[in-house]
Structure 1
Amino acid sequence: MSELPADWAATTLGEVADFVMGQAPPGAACNFDGVGTPFVKAGEFGAERPAIREWTTKPLKMACSTDVLICVVGATCGKLNLGADCAIGRSVAAIRPNPGLEQHYLYALLKPLVLSLRHGATGSAQGVISKDRLAEIDVPLPPLAEQRRIVAKLDALTARTARARADLDRIPALAARYKQAVLSRAFSGELTADWRAAQPALEPISPRSENDIRPKYRLGGAAPDFAPPYAVPETWRWLRLPQLGDMDRGKSRHRPRDDARLFDGPFPFVQTGEVRAADRYLTSYSKTYSAFGLEQSKLWPIGTVCITIAANIAETAILGIEACFPDSVVGFNADAARCLPDYVEYFIRTAKADLEQFAPATAQKNINLEVLGSIRLPVASLHEQAEIVRRIDRAFAEIDRLTAEAAAARRLLDRLDQAVLAKAFRGELVPQDPADEPASVLLDRIRAERAAAPKAKRGRRPALA
């Protein structure tokens, strides 16, 4: 323990607190109907105090509202809550501060120790923090009046950082909404209205001829009714994906699909989760196909737009590598004379929440290859597509920069909280008052009272005055 102010004392938790180690009541005596005594296990720990969701008619070990509760068993051992008048299970211990140790001071003191207590927990199957380990925790003990000043100062500072943290935590959701707004403006023509006005002439995109479209995507007779969901610039056209390029489902024909002969070769094999996780361009994969695997699949070229139709619906990415994928992914290869892969990928991001508004009224409401083949895209000229993609890229880069700065600030707040706590327990957060009773006198009184007190029955409900 570092050097403390003159009126402070160095002690251990075992000298200034008692411990009640939890014990589970009989299962038959527990209920969720509010009958009996509130019963708390580690799973009920909340942000600051436990949630009461269970009761028992046979409480064995009791905590008080003036205790500090700590999880002492399992993956969350070391987690803290302020106390409650309740029975506690074996995963919880109640630390009961003696008079002279302020509950909220102790709670703040233990907060930075959660991870070290967890890592130091013993036990083969699951970690356990023992009573002896709790008793040996170092406690820098200020005068009681100073403890209260420290708690008041910490409350004021943490309230400010909590407000800042809440504001920063909203940034990712705001960023996602802003990106969606950029995409909506892009595919209505609003984003490039100024650019379009400065162009002397823009050539509308003409669809591929029916003969160039695979038979199953040809409209045949009259085109299905399609009511555009919004107006677009006069040089734009509402066109289907098959009118702009080739599309098909991925292939993985061999059964069983987990046959070992299919894997561990040189050919990347990507799945729906990897499409979803890609940051626009897909270059990462966890599995590869062998030559045998490739024979029953297809190697798609770089630039293929991947669209998931199972598990994660309408997630998109553009292949940055040659890769195979299963039939839960649709591949689209753009006709370079008609559209850009990035333009198509960005549009599907825009529309995926309500794809059916871009399809004829007769289309099925679930997504499959046929539905994708019927969806209309608002297609700008090739030059405007490139400008739209450039402006989206620029806007997204700025949004990502601001989001990254917010995340960095969020991490700094966590470090600031730790720094404030460290100052508090070095005696540097609030001024010392010479009129305060020195902590050494307080500690001597605590020791004398503990020595003179009769042996308490541990874990029983304290008598009410």
Structure 2
Amino acid sequence: MIIEVPPNWESCEIGEVTKVVGGGTPPSKDPTNFETEGGIPWITPADLSGYKNTFIDRGARNLSEKGFAACSAAKMPVGSVLFSSRAPIGYVAIAANEISTNQGFKSFVLPEELDSRFVYFYLRHIKPIAEAMATGTTFKELSGSTIAHLPLLIAPLPEQKRIADKLDTLFGWIDACRERLDRVQLILKRFRQSVLAAATSGQLTEDWRRQNGHIRDSWISTDFQSVCREITVGHVGKMVSEYRETGVPFLRSLNVRPFHFDPKDLKYISQEFHLKLSKSTLRPGDVVIVRSGAPGQCCVVPAELVEANCSDLVIVRPGPKLAAGFACVFINSEMAQSFVRSERVGVAQLHFNVGSMKNAPLLLPSLEEQQEIVRCVETLFAFADKLEARLEAARSRVERLTPATLAKAFRGELVPQDPNDEPASVLLERIQAARQSRVSISSTSIKRKLRSQIKTDKKPEVTMYELSEIQPNHLTNLIKGKGRVTAKALYQIAQLTIEDFYEQLRSEEGKGFLREVREGNESYLEAT
């Protein structure tokens, strides 16, 4: 992702103009560290999972004063922008009130020259950049020093507000569109359920019976074992060593979906092993039902699977009075699924056993009416499938709107520019000047408190670096290898003159790479 600076905008690193704030978690085994009412609002990435609002005022639980004191969580003011830095990277929200977070965030306290909604939308836009900058093996994470290098685009402040207002409006429309599409999905689900309910109750073929001289009373109440040649189960046992690149198709639960066979991740076994598993051999027209995990999903083995086998599926081989297609319709209906739910067994994993399938109740019309029912269901489901395909296409277009709109906004093309706006260059200079002033005061304070520790000690004879020769986070990297250190100890290993040491300390503190902490009467420096 390439960031281009629009005309009259400025760019910088986000750590140059904001304060980067980490978070913390007190010992979770002590319940008094947390409160559900009152206390200090505290956010974790889990609180933002599925969260759709821009502003957030609290998470699932708050920190007590005791819990806050027991961890490195920090209070941030209203308008701070929260950004999850791990598991996952890229959740964003704005603090609606004073708030704190756990260590899964690196958040930004903004100067008054930056609109919090503008920064919020911008961080959503550059999520791919943040993910690319993350490091780690078990899971990716952004450190405070790394996240401070995120690129930031700055527009004139009035333009920031115009962009944020426009994005609020557009995303409101996009969200409303998503909700409408979700309702269509629900309507289609209910439509299919209604078709199956009508099919298994006889309502679907009322006109057909009237036209063909059939009556509803001809339906008989029976069970599956009475109208099937065989009901058995697929192979149950370890299979990993038996899989081959090619051979006989071997179906598992994930290959069975309601009304259709799914070839995704289909496995294969050798012909020799297939012949050993004669009990679980599949033939076109067999009905297979998921037995474990999501019991009850059912489809008919298609004609193209001339030779196949399976694992842990219930296999139903219809007799002459039962059409395979009707058996599939009936088993996927709510009537049969309710029976499946009542018969499931197991704790760690639910199962639907062969014995229950044999005893499953069945309302059976004539073979001729079964075939008509299957034809009607297939016709209506094909209509629903077409609508669903159009729905998915519409959803895809809607999902592309968000990144496209953000990209347009941060190319400077979403709202008109006003030549009367204060230029972003002046805005950036003012932010940096104010920040320099605050940092200088802070560093002077640190310098005054810590100089007494350093000035009495002679610098060891080592090779000294110029500031131009070191990394922007030179001191922070040294701290990371040692944890919390005194300024004296850090100076001894920094390989800088005392004036350069204080200049670098001021710079890294200003960028949020490190901070001063106190324990009793002692002062230390630590990486953020």
Same fold (TM over 0.5): yes
Once the two structures are TM-superposed, the CA of residue 118 in structure 1 deviates from its matched residue by 1.4
Kept in 2: contact 1:271–1:325 (CA 8 A): yes
Give the CA deviation at 1:26. 5.8
Partner of residue 314, structure 2: 330
- Tell me, in whole angstroms, the C-alpha distance in 2 between the residues paired with 1:424 and 1:261: 54
Q: Alpha carbons of 1:300 and 1:137: their partners in 2 closer, same or farther (altered >3 Å)?
A: closer
CA change 1:426–1:308 in 2 (3 A) is closer
User: Which residue matches 1:77?
Assistant: 89
1:392 aligns with 2:394: no
Give the AA of the match of 1:455: S
Counterpart of 1:444? 429
For 1:64-143, what aligned pairs fall within 5 Å after superposition? Answer: 64-73=77-86, 75-83=87-95, 85-143=98-156
Give CA-to-partner distance per residue, 1:174-230, whole Å, 9 cap, x none. Answer: 32221010011122222222333333x55xxxxxxxxxxxxxxxxxxxxxxxxxxxx
> What secondary structure does 1:123 align onto?
coil
Q: Are residues 1:401 and 2:386 paired?
A: yes
Which residue matches 2:16? Answer: 15
Q: Distance in 2 between matches of 1:244 and 1:61?
A: 67
Secondary structure, counterpart of 2:89 in structure 1: coil
Per-residue deviation, residues 41-78 of structure 1 (Å, max 9, x unmatched): 433335243614241241534233321111223x3123
1:13 partner letter? I
Question: Which residue of structure 1 lines up, in the alignment, with residue 223 of structure 2?
Answer: 240
Corresponding residue of 1:258: 238
Q: Please, which of 241, 260, 268 is the counterpart of residue 280 of structure 1?
A: 260
Partners of 2:342 and 2:208 lie apart in 1 by 26
TM-score, normalised via structure 1 length: 0.78
Relative to structure 1, the CA distance from residue 141 to residue 293 in structure 2 (aligned partners, 3 Å threshold; closer, same or farther) is same
Is 1:173 paired with 2:212?
Answer: no
Does the CA contact (< 8 Å) of 2:41 and 2:59 recur in 1? Answer: no
Report the 3-state secondary structure (helix = DSSP H, G, I; strand = E; otherwise coil) of the residue aligned with 2:204.
coil
After superposition, the CA RMSD in angstroms is 3.4
- The CA deviation at 1:313 is 2.8
How far does residue 36 in structure 1 lie from its aligned partner after superposition? Answer: 5.1
Aligned match of 1:413: 398
**TM-aligned CA distance change 1:148 to 1:183, over 3 Å:** same
| Corresponding position: 1:270 with 2:251 | yes
Change beyond 3 A, Cα 1:358–1:390: farther
Give 1:346 deviation, angstroms.
0.5
Relative to structure 1, is the Cα distance of residues 101 and 310 closer, same or farther in structure 2, using a 3 angstrom cutoff? closer
Please list the CA deviations of residues 436-462 of structure 1 after superposition, one character each: whole Å capped at 9, or x if unmatched: 22222222221221222223887899x
Q: Distance in 2 between matches of 1:68 and 1:112?
A: 14
Residue type of the partner of 1:238?
Answer: S
Contact 1:68–1:81 (8 Å) recurs in 2: yes
Q: Distance in 2 between matches of 1:116 and 1:296?
A: 52
Change over 3 Å in CA distance of 1:170–1:440 after alignment to 2 = same
Higher relative contact order (CA 8 A, sep 6+): 1
| Compared CA separation, residues 179 and 294, structure 1 to 2 (3 A) | same
Q: Does 1:347 align with 2:330?
A: yes
Whether the aligned pair in 2 keeps the contact of 1:267 and 1:294 (CA below 8 Å) is: no
Structure 1 partner of 2:410: 425
DSSP-derived class of the 1:79 partner: strand
Normalised to the residue count of structure 2, the TM-score between the two structures is 0.70
Residue 380 of structure 1: how far off its partner (Å) = 2.9
Contact kept, 8 Å, 1:21 with 1:61, in 2: the verdict is: yes
- Tell me, in whole angstroms, the C-alpha distance in 1 between the residues paired with 2:235 and 2:6: 69
Deviation at 1:273, TM superposition (A): 4.2
What secondary structure, in the 3-state scheme, does the structure 1 residue paired with 2:442 have? coil
1:103 Cα deviation from its structure 2 partner: 0.6
* Compared CA separation, residues 40 and 297, structure 1 to 2 (3 A): same
Distance 1:190 1:241 in 2: 22
Q: What amino acid maps onto 1:316 in structure 2?
A: C
> Structure 1 residues 279 and 189 mapped into 2: Cα distance closer, same or farther (>3 Å)?
closer
Amino acid at match of 1:303: G
Q: Is residue 2:61 matched to residue 1:53?
A: yes
Structure 2 residue aligned with 1:2: 4
Q: What are the equivalent positions in structure 2 for 1:199-214 lying under 5 Å apart? A: 199=212, 201=213
Alpha carbons of 1:9 and 1:334: their partners in 2 closer, same or farther (altered >3 Å)? same
Structure 1 residue ranges without an equivalent (≥5)? 203-231, 360-365
Amino acid at match of 1:428: E
Whether the 8 Å CA contact 2:255–2:261 is kept in 1: the answer is no
Residue-pair matches, total: 417
Q: Confirm whether residue 318 of structure 1 aligns to residue 305 of structure 2.
A: no
